[in-house]
Amino acid sequence: MITVETVGKLQAVLSEARQGGRTVGLVPTMGALHAGHASLVTRCVAENDICVVSVFVNPTQFNDKNDLASYPRDLEADCTLLRSIGAHVVFAPTVEEVYPEPDTRQFSYPPVDTVMEGARRPGHFNGVCQVVSKLFQYVQPERAYFGEKDFQQIAVVRAMTRDLRLGVDIVACPIVREESGLALSSRNQLLTASERATAATISRTLSESIGWKKSGAKVAEVEARVVETIDTTAGLRTEYYQIVDSDTLQPVADWESAKGIVGCITVYCGSRPVRLIDNIRYK
């Protein structure tokens, strides 16, 4: 495994690696890697001749400077993990390398980028599109791997990829969870042990909501009960919970409104607090 910090070096390495028609896959990350990231890398290694992992905390997708400053970083530990699971190239650029000048491009993909995270984090998805489009340009992968915990992000990246005709296959990979059910996230490192235990209420409640649906509860009733259950748990506060069409991400009126239905949630946990996201498929 090699680690490169510049676009020029990355492209030189990939140009050589592509000789003989070898395929390249990309796993974009912001570092602080965990078993969820590892599952993406493992799949990328299995499905491509060359696996590139980017490790870059992208400033343009943060609308909260404190969130950017507190985001966990440990490149040495990340590289140790990546080496152990067979990654071939780690791209770990500086902010100046990715943004030698301000990126003024504007991306807009309604309705998928205007609801939920898009409505509450202005500019977030524009920043995601800025950095992912740059990474796709640098690496030119056949496939790129994203975790389904960031369900809305995948929808936005797919819309951007189609719009720009980038020819990259966006591969969505299942959520990896801790034994408690808590969805793995780099932000989990910011939780205390007791907060981590409390946060497991999120996934437990979502799982229980499947039973409520099967028992005949309407969409609005399931939404209200999920929020009430979480908000009455000390240390947790729901920012939003919406049950939506899995393609358009628009709210559904009933369980027959769409072929695919997913519930998306964001919850604040602890005294700092730490912002956690999760989702569950109903059909």
| DSSP state at residue 184 | P
Nearest C-alpha neighbor of 238 from the set 268, 209, 263? 268
**Residue 219 corresponds to which amino acid?**
V
Does the annotation mark 124 as catalytic? no
Residue 57: half-sphere exposure toward Cβ, Cα within 13 Å: 17
Q: Are 171 and 151 in contact (CB under 8 A)?
A: no
Six token digits for residue 41 = 């890398």
Pick the catalytic residue: 34, 37, 88, 124?
37
Task: Give dist(CA 218, CA 213) in Å, integer.
Answer: 7
Six token digits for residue 216 = 């005949």
Residue with tokens 């408690």: 180
* DSSP H stretches of helix in 22-123: 35-47, 65-70, 75-84, 95-98, 117-120
Intra-chain end-to-end CA distance of the chain, in Å: 40
Active site residues: 37
